[in-house]
Amino acid sequence: MKSISLLGATGSIGLQTLDIVREHADEFEIVAFAAGKNIEKTKDIIREFKPKLVSVQLEKDAYTLSKEFSHIDFTYGTKGLVDVATFSEATVLLNAVLGSIGLEATLAAIREKKAIAIANKETLVTAGHLVMSEAKKYGAPILPVDSEHSALWQSMQGENRKSISRLILTASGGSFRDKTRKELENVTIKEALNHPNWSMGAKITIDSATLMNKGLEVIEAAVLYDMPYDKIDVLIHRESIIHSMVEYHDTSIMAQLGTPDMRTPIQYALSYPERLPRLAAERLDLAKIGQLHFENVDLNRFRCLDFAYQAGKMGGTILTVMNAANEAAVGAFLQGEIKFLEIEDIIEKMMNDHMNIQHPDLETILHVDKETRKTVQSMLK
């Protein structure tokens, strides 16, 4: 039985994680979890999974819940994330929170030598050098949950990493893959949230439409697998069947295929090194699909992916700036404050205006993150 602490329990990845725990109750248990402001869903999770520690975003909600569930310990805020991440009875932390807020909790869990199943892109993007260094120091395994990085990981099993020629990440192209930049000028929030293949949270769905999501994944791949950026490629793959590929120097390409279902990589991270059956999952029928399509990415069309390559090659705090500016801009778009293409404009301006700092420590990263968000907010006002 693996005991799991779950950050982001009421989000898309969190709820799908609960599906896996529900399906394999003899293998996994939720001993602690963190949620945000969705208190009704939090109550449902408490009743079903009976954790020992729960964190929510607001102190008043923690107090209210403690009155109803007096046998459970409650905490809140950023400290609450750390409390859940380092809960003594958990052996695995699954970090599924959105944004760089998950960084401190992840580092704290690493220092407690927890296995880290990571679905929080921003942690590796803004502080990958710290995360991987600490993980090596404390012997904490980093287990990728993103479908693309899980695919790369699975395609490397049993292989010599020195034989890898390049990594190939696949991208669906998002909600607007067939639109020209002219057509993107007045797209609506509803249109942007209509992803053709995946069911995800709002922020990730917008990132998929701009291809920033893939940019973050390129940076993650460089961090996780110690790969230079000129050996990480992105292909548009409309069907989202091949989740990513690894090319070896003998020209062989290993790929992981499956239906677009995040529960599969979540389960693999939790069950590794074993594979558990997916009892209710849809099976991949290649004959029914018939054809798979691929095309190169136009970086002039998808500028956010180009920003990510630039920031990744530069390293340092520019990565934090790019990520924080994107989060703030996407939030503004979802609130109807800016147009879709203005997301790119905000990110580009913040990156151009930034004086980069190499090898930043945690305090510097958090400071730059905070200041970037404040600057974006002042720009919007």
Q: How many CB atoms lie within 10 A of CB 243?
A: 25
CA angle 93, 1, 42 (to 5 degrees): 50
Please say if the pLDDT value at position 305 is more than 90: yes
Cα separation, 94 vs 106, whole angstroms: 9
Q: How confident is the model at residue 186 (pLDDT cuts 50, 70, 90)?
A: confident
Average pLDDT, integer, range 325-340: 95
The full DSSP string for 317-334 is: THHHHHHHHHHHHHHHHH
> So where are the chain's domains?
2-144, 149-276+284-314
Give pLDDT tens digits for 274-284.
999 998 889 99
Residue 100 has pLDDT above 90, yes or no: no
pLDDT tens sequence across 349-374: 999 999 999 999 999 999 999 999 99
Fold of 2-144: Rossmann fold (3.40.50)
Q: Is the pLDDT of residue 292 over 80?
A: yes
Mean pLDDT of the chain: 95
The sheet carrying 232-236 orders its strands as: 253-257, 242-248, 164-171, 232-236, 295-296
User: Residue ranges of the alpha helices (H) in 211-354?
Assistant: 212-225, 263-271, 286-289, 303-314, 318-334, 342-353
What per-residue confidence (pLDDT) applies to 197?
67
pLDDT band at 125 (very low <50, low <70, confident <90, very high): very high
- Non-local (6+) Cβ contacts of 252 within 8 A are none
Asked, as a colleague might, if the bond just before 277 is cis with ω within 30 of 0, I would say no
Element (H, E) at 189: helix 189-192
Nearest 5°: phi and psi at 27? Answer: -110, -35
139-151 burial, b for 16+ CB within 10 Å, e for fewer? ebebbbbbbbbbb
Which pLDDT value is given to residue 196? 67
